[in-house]
Amino acid sequence: MLFNSPAFIVGFLPVTLLIFFALGRHSIFWARVWLSGASLFFYGWWNPVYLLLIVTSIIFNFYCAQALQRYDAVSSYLGTAPSKRTILILGLAFNLGVLGYFKYFMFLVRNVNDLTGAAFDVPHIILPLAISFFTFQKIAYLVDSYRGKAREDSFLNFLLFVSFFPQLIAGPIVHYSELLPQLREQRIYRFNARNFADGASFFLLGLAKKVVLADAFATYSDPGFVGAAQGGSLDFTAGWVAALSYALQLYFDFSGYCDMAIGLALMLNIQLPLNFRSPYKAASIIEFWRRWHMTLSRFLREYVYIPLGGNRRGRVRRYANLMATMLIGGAWHGANWTFVVWGGLHGAYLGINHLWTEIRGPVTPRAATTAMARGLTLLCVIVAWVIFRADSLRSAGAVYAGMLGVHGALLPEQVLSLLPPLRHLFVGVGSVPYLGNQTVMGTFEVVVMLTAGYAIVLLAPNLYEMSRRTRLLIVALSFAFTVQKVFFSAAISPFLYFQF
């Protein structure tokens, strides 16, 4: 079930909220049972078969965590027991094994076939929705249990912690300490008009980002990438339109989802951690990763980079750990070499950024240098997004070739007629390749939309920096467009991060 679907907005959400708060007035236990059941129903809407997978995984991880949390009592009772570290390793192996089978097994077999000439055949494996997110969340819980930072005796609370529908599908990746203590507070189960109004405003503004902005930029980015995947050659204009449009599509799509998730939780009086904070305003790649998918960055830092040694074992090891962490982060997004290369590229970016910071030392920031740093950072991010979006390394190369002008720079004949001096630089072809715009107005629309999109992400405050009054005003202004897109569009587009 999609957050941007009518079934969710006018069906699932109001029914879930009404019954939750009605039960909460009389029984906190049954309110938790209802919310857990509603969350599992939300997950099972996509494919009921995979309810068995997520419930089995939740049961295994709960009792594995119990063994870690109660290790001294269990080992003394049994007399002999596996070491605490062995229990943790078994728990991690189970979670990573399930993730590896569903997400990477076919990818591994294809690569073995390509390298060896073998013809191993495996049936098509459907990737369970949200498996990457809830796997990382449970891994964090097991490690925190091993470290003595997590303690939960209630299976119902743990079930709700993992399956809580606002954050289940695409994050944020929530820590034990951020959600489970809230579930014990009685205020959660009493309707709060202020929280509901704030949550609804975040939800509606996130919805507008998705259906009004992200889906619009998809119509500009998709033709270029699809054309490249089909073997077409992109010119300079088409290459940059595809790259710039996808950067905005992904920004508004994921930002919108994060706002909607936080808003839905707030309607239930629950605070989820911030996951997205104007990342295109970052003045360095280091800062970018402190603003983009913040809970994934936190997971990679705390459960991958630091356990590998972090920066405690010398400069060379530090850069190796950075690269390894980003390669894992890239592979987490999908079973394709494009994601691995994307992660490696960001690993190289981070290494260069840290090295430059060491060489340069502390400096006083100035407006001009900050603007240049932001521009360079954004350019690097956009260049990397091309690999992230492309179906293959070959099609990514086709888009890069277009961006570099390898196939020339083409503009519509209508534009060249209006601006004759441009004929010395560009060749007119009557339309913009892969954009589907046959008139100068179509080209003008793309330029205006890209300009407006980057003005919003670079200059406008984010929703968390706005006053309540400003948010409500924007909701009122965008409401009609949002309703039209949700209820009268021919198709409902899924969020991009659902594929991960």
Residue 458's pLDDT is 95
Residue 480: which pLDDT band, with cuts at 50, 70 and 90?
Answer: confident
The span from the CA of 124 to the CA of 213, in Å, is 34
To 10 degrees, what angle do helices 393-403 and 215-229 make?
110
Q: Is the dihedral of CA 191, 192, 196, 199 positive or negative?
A: negative
Helix (H, G, I), strand (E, B) or coil at 422: helix
Query: pLDDT tens digits, residue range 265-295?
Result: 999 999 999 999 999 999 999 999 999 999 9
Q: Are 129 and 47 in contact (CB under 8 A)?
A: yes
Residue 442's pLDDT is 65
Domains of the chain by residue range: 6-116+123-194, 197-296+331-341+355-499
Q: Looking at the predicted structure, is the pLDDT value of residue 344 above 80?
A: yes
Closest to 325 (Cα-Cα) out of 347, 342, 357? 347
Q: Is 153 exposed, middle or buried (0-12, 13-18, 19+ CB in 10 A)?
A: exposed
Query: pLDDT tens digits, residue range 128-147?
Result: 888 999 999 999 999 999 99
Of the chain, the percentage scoring pLDDT greater than 90 comes to 61
124 is catalytic: no
Helix (H, G, I), strand (E, B) or coil at 428: strand
Residue 435's pLDDT is 45
Q: Looking at the predicted structure, is the pLDDT value of residue 151 above 50?
A: yes
Residue 2: which pLDDT band, with cuts at 50, 70 and 90?
Answer: confident
Of the chain, the percentage scoring pLDDT greater than 70 comes to 90
The rounded mean pLDDT for the chain is 88
Residue 172's pLDDT is 92
> Which residue among the candidates 293, 333, 346, 354 is catalytic per the annotation?
333
More confident residue, 432 or 269: 269
Residue 418: which pLDDT band, with cuts at 50, 70 and 90?
Answer: low
Residue 41's pLDDT is 95
User: Once rounded to an integer, what is the mean pLDDT over residues 342-358?
Assistant: 94
